[in-house]
Structure 1
Amino acid sequence: MSGRITELFNNNVFTDAEMKARLPKKVYNEVKACKLDKGSADIVAQAVRDWAIEKGATHFTHVFEPLTMLTAEKHDSFVSLPDEDGKVMMDFTGKELCESEPDGSSFPSGGIRDTSRARSYTSWDMTSPIYVKEDAIGTILCIPAAFCSYTGEALDAKTPLLRSMDAVSEQGVRLLRLLGNTTSTKVTAGVGPEQEYFIVDRDKYLQRDDLVFTGRTLFGAPAPKGQELDDQYFGVIPERVGSFMKELNEELWRFGITAKTQHNEVAPGQHEVAPIFSVTNVAADSNLLLMDTLKKVATRHGLVCLLHEKPFAGVNGSGKHNNWSLSTDDGINLFKPSKKPETDTRFQLVVGCVMKAVKKHALLLRTAASNPGNDHRLGANEAPPAIISIFLGDQIGGVVDQIIEKGYADSSIPAGMLDLGVKECPAVDKDPTDRNRTSPFAFTGNRFEFRMVASSCNVAEPNIVLNAMMAEAFSDAADAIEAKLREGKHTDVAVREVTAEFIRENKDIYFNGNGYTDEWVAEAERRGLPNVKTWVDSIKSVTEPTTVEMYEKFHILTKRELEARAEVFYETYSKTLNIEAGTMIDMVTKKIIPAVIKYENNLAASVNTIKSAYAAANISTQEGMLHEIAELLGETYKALKKLSDVHAKAVAMEGKEQAFYYKDVVKEAMDELRAPVDKLEVLVERKVWPMPTYGDLLFEI
């Protein structure tokens, strides 16, 4: 297998090497510079077509990222009009490569498009690799693309992501120039997203309407065993899952996705795959492709991949840790301190910028990292708290503490070696900082790990915010330094003063402790840090004046585009809860209540039989169970009626009002219906219960 990796890797990708081999040098340089005229576009299209057809492709598509958090495709064949001999032509033009025209009114647009105004466009992202995808439908040439309306507004995640990458590069270079750097010409945002997911048996999955329609179990009593023994994490991978992972790796490597790490996660049935860092837009495209591949490969093995943030109550949910870095084109990692961080003024200033950015836009980060499913895990002592804070660790935290106290630092905790005291094992390089898995935004040595991101989220969304807020912080730092230089201060003094100001003014965002404790919740409130428990409560941040000002200043999104996104988010929340509530009502009405009544009748008949045959026998246990089931069934009827009523009322509402009604009223009614049903599951005979249990789903793989 190891020898095959090099053969498999990038096998389905139109790589840089392929471009060099198939394109004239002038045209190749135009593609790399993202500047194509019509003639050059036709040349590129012909080369891409020939390569794709050699791979067996019959169709092509622009792959874009509408505000559904998923990708979208519209396949067109290479077939053109036949020649005079009736032989079919296989054509692909430069225009078809560079643009396409999907229906903009059929995707979420927040009112930007309506049914009578349907035209929209996709445009090829020349910085993200073209690839072919082999499915049951055939081999398809896939072209990563941005998506906008006929009037030019962004309708996707790709467009603002690319704009944010340009903004952070421009402002990063501007700041570096003030610090004396004359060589760097670009700052590149990079990401390595760790993807968590659950694997369940497909046959059992298909017996659960809640999993099929919503991606999570709306009912389910805990299994006798959960994750309390800590035996799942990094444990031996089950053979059936291992077979799935083997094929998954092969598929990902063909797409050029650097699948590096695989392991069991904390919860039973939960696993993780993680790639190596790549440029942010490429990483986002790859992660969406990875999620799609997870689902397809699982199906081939009689399994299902669940990407919902909380498929099972009572066990840990899934996230997507967003490892984020900023590096220059000449090899400088802005988030990597030197061996003496106490003298590394550039790194200290960058840390101050991060603190300022995260403090100012904490609620926006909370919004961008979430969806309705993430509400079930954030702050539940299994994932970062809903309170945004920054963990800096002992070494960098010590430097920051000194700057807060006296305006500069003159010492730091050094790295070292850890001797295990075992002669058979070598000493270990010891990092000067421990890890903190309770922090939502943790410094981890050469990057910041944004641990809050939802597992099913398009990773582009949080990275738009990360890049935009850092562009703003870099710009503010450059403005402040330039102002001090105009006052006649030396550059070193100006940089040190601005660094101290940024760190001191935003010190409340810095917290190295345990984010799971009640004490931290109280302390965070005293510091004025937002603790927003639900996504719908955080959506207001999208249209806050500070957000609009930042996005418009750096030409990332306009106020109208932000208002549209907020509207889409409210609609997404309402529609998600609407589906969940409707599924609960349907399951209880058509499956659960009939099964319980059947069991109740059988149990009652059994009790009567025993009574008539053995009048003196003690049957209090059976009668007690019958009474308990009857009571719980009554509670279920009552809760079902309440949910049905409030659900009907919610459906008649619209917009923000509807979203909050779902959160405050419908969700509470859903919880009230679940409670007696989960208790009934424990009492009803297993073979009568109408769906697989948690034990069946999590342990029988």
Structure 2
Amino acid sequence: MVMKKNCSSDGNITTLFGSNVFNDAVMKERLPKSTYKALKKTIDEGAPLDPSIADIVANAMKDWAIEKGATHFTHWFQPMTGVTAEKHDSFISPTPDGKVIMEFSGKELIKGEPDASSFPSGGLRATFEARGYTAWDCTSPAFLKEDAAGVTLFIPTAFCSYTGEALDQKTPLLRSMEALSKQAIRILRLFGNTTAKTVISTVGPEQEYFLIDKAFYEKRKDLVLTGRTLFGSKPPKGQELEDHYFGSIKERISEYMKELDTELWKLGVTAKTKHNEVAPAQYELAPIFATTNVATDHNQLTMDLMRKIAARHGLTCLLHEKPFAGVNGSGKHNNWSIAADDGDNLLSPGSTPHDNTRFLLFLCAVIKAVDEYAELLRVSAANPGNDHRLGANEAPPAIISMFLGDQLTDIMDQLSNGGATSSKEGGILEIGVSTLPPLPKDSTDRNRTSPFAFTGNKFEFRMVASSASIALPNIVLNTIVAEVLSQIADRLEGAADFNGEIKKILKEVAVNNKRIIFNGNGYSDEWVAEAEKRGLPNIKSTVAAISALISEKAKIFEKHGVLSHKELESRYEIALEGYIKQINIEALTMLDMAKRQILPASIDYSTVLASNINTIKKALPAADVSAQEGLLKELTDTIGSFNKYIAVLEKTVEEAQELEGDTLKAAKFYRDGVFKDMGVLRTYGDKLETIVDSKLWPLPTYSDMLFLF
């Protein structure tokens, strides 16, 4: 029987929300006024953290956590493993009389010391160089997690090596936010804004995922070890009826979603939207926007809770980009915008965008950044799982382009001809039914095939991998836009004619970077050909994308203090090693399943068929057994081919493993050799599934997993 945690919200969501977060309201209540003001200055304005307040904050945080049942604390960080890391310490401290007291010092709050050599470092740390540090990120609030172990205080932190290099996702993300703020403030000052202290990037990541019955999952070694099905023939019904998207949510799934919402709300995650996605057994959750580093933390929490809560309901949550061939995979839509700390959204066009000069300048900065640094954006969305998805009729192509819509595209055309004088209106949409109200029509349509689309007052980066952290996409976005803003600020600060220089900049972008703007069907073959004519890169694989991390263009990370040359090289090595390891695990898992499950079951069925044919011939010598013999021949021929390609794949894997001293060469071989041979082996394995008696087939089928729960 599945044990389910009580997920009642007690009816009052406003009380429930953030109840497990050491948020601003809690700090204001529990901290001395002077301590609270000093901490808020660091959080809101980026002022240096005053170490003298750490003990006061730590004590207040500890008392609050203990009152809520906490016994342990952990520095929670995001190493380059793709998941989060935590080491739990209790609050207890022994006393001379043999008892304990509960203590938590400022030193323990500010700094931790995990083993740096046990996490991916890309050569930054050798095995014998173990020391690393976690540092408190006070801009992301501490929180409490409740599970079978009890209640634990989680302290968001950054993670760096003994020599100061970033070993995590958080550190360069915070650096990129500061870089963007610095350059955007320069622009705001030029437009007369003297009050804004910082500019923040904000993100709302839409998270797609699959849910299947846990019993099916546990019978699939491929799902357990790799997150995706390495074998599986197409089911009789997939997504072609388009009946799952936004369909009625099954009760079992609704119950899961209810608990997920409740637990996320306790942690201050603004889970807002939930619905059935396009593929059967696929769903989506979307939060409200938050500051980028907080949104990144929240998305990691969301993925973690999705998995844990699924288990309580006898389900398994799959976050792989393509767990099932033949139906849509999952992505993560990274909705990104920038705003001043006075609440002014810098990407809001207003009612007449053609004469909103400041908006046009920020818009053109993003256009130029995306065009000139497309390779960096592409690598930020690259992982082995996303290679199955990008470019298919479910996700944006591997070509980076930008959708602006009719109104802004028209304005850019006007700018390229000297200046914008008008904005297209949306108008009113008449539906033709008297009882239905007329609807205000947006000035532009939406485009779900675009990898980077303007959607009102933000950009939606739709290529991001569903299983990945959103840190790197936002590190790239923040940095490339910061670079272009710095170029613009340099020109405007030194311009004799401020307005004239702005007009020049807007026209230059409209003319020189218009190749990136494409409002049509990104799925079409015609677009691929057109993109090639425009000179837009079409980077189809993770291995091909990774080199951008050490390219000439990547030097902007060094320029803006986001990632040093050594840190970039380490991430390049980690990405290549990660690809190699993932494909190697998939290949070995495939071979294991082929030899120990599929091949024996297929041989057993061939024996059954042969025995049945002989029995019939013996009983009825004149009987027509051509159907049985035809089936047996098809089966044995397929078994022969299947067995042949088992041997081929084994040999290819052995060859690949011999190359692993040269990570780039090995990664290319895994892509072009191992992965290709895996595809051939799967073809014959999937054919066997359609022939072998279902009672003998050893694996849950797609029909079982996607529909029977």
| Residue equivalent to 1:607 | 613
| Residue equivalent to 2:674 | 666
| Residue equivalent to 2:29 | 21
- State the TM-score, normalized to the length of structure 2: 0.97
| Residue equivalent to 1:627 | 633
| Residue equivalent to 1:176 | 188
Question: Does the CA-based 8 Å contact 1:80-1:88 persist in structure 2?
Answer: yes
CA distance in 2, matches of 1:652, 1:221: 32
**84-93 vs 426-435, which moves further:** 84-93
Question: Does the CA-based 8 Å contact 2:382-2:545 persist in structure 1?
Answer: no
Residues 99-248 of structure 1: pairs in structure 2 closer than 5 A? 99-248=111-260
Task: Name which of 576, 583, 587 aligns with 1:581.
Answer: 587
Task: Name which of 274, 293, 298 aligns with 2:305.
Answer: 293
Q: How far does residue 67 in structure 1 lie from its aligned partner after superposition?
A: 0.5
CA distance in 2, matches of 1:330, 1:13: 24
| Residue equivalent to 1:389 | 401
Question: Does the CA-based 8 Å contact 1:607-1:623 persist in structure 2?
Answer: yes
CA distance in 2, matches of 1:652, 1:50: 56
Question: Does the CA-based 8 Å contact 2:334-2:464 persist in structure 1?
Answer: yes
Letter in 2 for 1:261: T
CA distance in 2, matches of 1:36, 1:435: 43
- State the TM-score, normalized to the length of structure 1: 0.98
Letter in 2 for 1:281: N
Q: How far does residue 36 in structure 1 lie from its aligned partner after superposition?
A: 4.1
Letter in 2 for 1:449: E
Q: How far does residue 249 in structure 1 lie from its aligned partner after superposition?
A: 0.5
| Residue equivalent to 1:50 | 63
Residues 93-104 of structure 1: pairs in structure 2 closer than 5 A? 93-104=105-116
Give secondary structure in 2 for the equivalent of 1:80.
strand
CA distance in 2, matches of 1:174, 1:38: 30
Give secondary structure in 2 for the equivalent of 1:336.
coil
Task: Name which of 506, 512, 516 aligns with 2:519.
Answer: 512
| Residue equivalent to 2:535 | 528
CA distance in 2, matches of 1:690, 1:256: 44
Give secondary structure in 2 for the equivalent of 1:372.
coil
Name stretches of at least 5 consecutive residues in structure 2 with no aligned partner. Answer: 1-8, 43-47
Q: How far does residue 385 in structure 1 lie from its aligned partner after superposition?
A: 0.4
Task: Name which of 319, 335, 346 aligns with 1:307.
Answer: 319
Task: Quote the RMSD (CA, aligned, Å).
Answer: 1.1
Question: Does the CA-based 8 Å contact 1:370-1:457 persist in structure 2?
Answer: no
- Does residue 479 (structure 1) correspond to residue 485 (structure 2)? The answer is no
- Does residue 617 (structure 1) correspond to residue 628 (structure 2)? The answer is no
Q: How far does residue 658 in structure 1 lie from its aligned partner after superposition?
A: 1.1
CA distance in 1, matches of 2:77, 2:331: 23
Name stretches of at least 5 consecutive residues in structure 1 with no aligned partner. Answer: none
Question: Does the CA-based 8 Å contact 1:342-1:411 persist in structure 2?
Answer: yes
CA distance in 2, matches of 1:327, 1:614: 84
- Does residue 64 (structure 1) correspond to residue 72 (structure 2)? The answer is no
Letter in 1 for 2:459: F
Q: Deviations over 1:37-93 (max 9, x none)?
A: 444111111100111111111111011010111100011111111x23322111111
CA distance in 1, matches of 2:458, 2:561: 26
Letter in 2 for 1:11: S
CA distance in 1, matches of 2:63, 2:192: 48
CA distance in 2, matches of 1:38, 1:516: 54
Give secondary structure in 2 for the equivalent of 1:382.
coil
- Does residue 452 (structure 1) correspond to residue 463 (structure 2)? The answer is yes
Letter in 1 for 2:630: G
Q: Deviations over 1:613-670 (max 9, x none)?
A: 1222221111111000101101111110011011112122221111111001000110
CA distance in 2, matches of 1:265, 1:108: 34
Letter in 2 for 1:622: Q
Task: Name which of 427, 433, 441 aligns with 2:444.
Answer: 433
Give secondary structure in 1 for the equivalent of 2:144.
strand
CA distance in 2, matches of 1:14, 1:416: 46
| Residue equivalent to 2:658 | 652
Question: Does the CA-based 8 Å contact 1:345-1:496 persist in structure 2?
Answer: no
Task: Name which of 421, 424, 440 aligns with 2:435.
Answer: 424
Q: Kindly tell me: are residues 190 and 677 of structure 1, through their superposed partners in 2, closer, same or farther at Cα, counting changes over 3 Å?
A: same
Question: Does the CA-based 8 Å contact 1:193-1:275 persist in structure 2?
Answer: yes
| Residue equivalent to 2:384 | 372
| Residue equivalent to 2:598 | 592
Task: Name which of 686, 694, 697 aligns with 1:689.
Answer: 697
CA distance in 2, matches of 1:62, 1:639: 48
Give secondary structure in 2 for the equivalent of 1:453.
strand
CA distance in 2, matches of 1:280, 1:37: 23
Give secondary structure in 2 for the equivalent of 1:14.
coil
Give secondary structure in 2 for the equivalent of 1:472.
helix
Task: Name which of 628, 638, 662 aligns with 2:644.
Answer: 638
Question: Does the CA-based 8 Å contact 1:441-1:451 persist in structure 2?
Answer: yes
**690-699 vs 343-352, which moves further:** 343-352
For these two proteins, the number of residue pairs brought into alignment is: 694
